[in-house]
């Protein structure tokens, strides 16, 4: 029997992009924004204390040395290995071409020789269609994602998955679209197993 194929998101699910970027922003611009204040998966769009959004700050971050070696999300290394035992896994992300190599290096450092599929943009773009396009092209069965809008787009196309909990997606209940919620990496594999068995998240407590 062929293994089910799982697409796993990179930023804030596999690699801890958000915390490193927020630390960078706070240090560089003298801010004290806390992780729980970030209200969107598109963390590069968050405003400063004056409400000003400056996307060019992201470009400065991308040339910062810490971006070249992002750490894994807590529990991700062990969690990915657990998923890998029973599923065929690949990773998906949206990237500009000039930073994709850095992402690939970080992923392979922490997760081994993994496949990372990217949709390239001239400027960094969090596009919900990215995961959908990769899923369709690569024959993906399930997706592990933190961006609720990406998950909704996938769900509308009949793709089920696991919403990885972050402060910015706690207001979303996607069970009716066939999505489980995982509070941490320890809950990802059990949620995927339920999907593989055809269980309905609406009927689970």
Locate 72 and state its tokens: 């894994």
pLDDT value, residue 152: 94
pLDDT band at 121 (very low <50, low <70, confident <90, very high): low
pLDDT band at 54 (very low <50, low <70, confident <90, very high): low
Identify the pLDDT of residue 141.
97
Question: Which tokens go with 124?
Answer: 């960094």
Res. 45 pLDDT band, cuts 50 70 90: low
Q: Is 18 exposed, middle or buried (0-12, 13-18, 19+ CB in 10 A)?
A: buried
Domain boundaries, the chain: 5-16+70-203, 17-69
∠ Cα 17 158 185 (to 5°): 35
Q: Average pLDDT of 160-181?
A: 94
H or E stretch at 111: helix 97-111
- Indicate if the pLDDT at residue 122 is higher than 80: no
Length of the chain: 205
Tell me how many helices (H) and strands (E) the chain has.
7, 6
Fold of 5-16+70-203: Rossmann fold (3.40.50)
Under 8 Å CB-to-CB from 179, ≥6 apart: which residues? 151, 155, 160, 161, 162, 163, 201
In this structure, the number of other CB atoms found within 10 A of the CB of residue 82 comes to: 17
Residue in the structure block whose two tokens are 């999300």: 73
Which residues make Cβ contacts (< 8 Å) with residue 23, sequence separation at least 6? Answer: none
Residue 23 corresponds to which tokens in the numbers above?
Answer: 């630390």
d(CA 101, CA 79): 24
What is d(CA 198, CA 96) in angstroms, rounded to the nearest whole number?
36
The tokens 């997760």 sit on which residue?
Answer: 111
Confidence of residue 28 (pLDDT cuts 50, 70, 90): confident
Distance between CA 86 and CA 1 in Å, rounded?
11
pLDDT of residue 56: 62
pLDDT at res. 115? 86
């Amino acid at each position: 029997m062929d293994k089910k194929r799982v697409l796993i998101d990179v930023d804030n699910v596999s690699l801890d992009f958000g915390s490193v970027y927020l630390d960078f922003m706070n240090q560089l611009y003298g801010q004290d924004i806390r992780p729980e204040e970030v209200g969107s998966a598109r963390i590069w769009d968050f405003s400063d204390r004056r409400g000003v959004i400056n996307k060019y700050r992201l470009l400065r971050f991308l040339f910062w040395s810490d971006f070249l070696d992002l750490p894994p999300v807590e529990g991700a290394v062990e969690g990915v290995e657990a998923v890998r035992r029973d599923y065929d896994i690949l990773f998906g992300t949206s990237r500009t071409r000039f930073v994709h190599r850095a992402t690939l290096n970080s992923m392979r450092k922490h997760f081994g020789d993994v496949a990372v599929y990217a949709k390239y943009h001239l400027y960094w773009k969090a596009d919900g269609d990215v995961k959908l396009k990769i899923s369709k092209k690569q024959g993906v069965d399930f997706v592990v994602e933190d961006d609720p809008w990406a998950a909704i787009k996938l769900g509308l196309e009949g793709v089920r998955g696991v919403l990885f909990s972050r402060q910015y997606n706690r207001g979303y209940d996607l069970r009716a679209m066939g999505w489980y919620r995982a509070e941490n990496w320890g809950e990802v594999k059990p949620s995927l197993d339920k999907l593989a068995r055809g269980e309905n998240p609406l009927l689970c407590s």
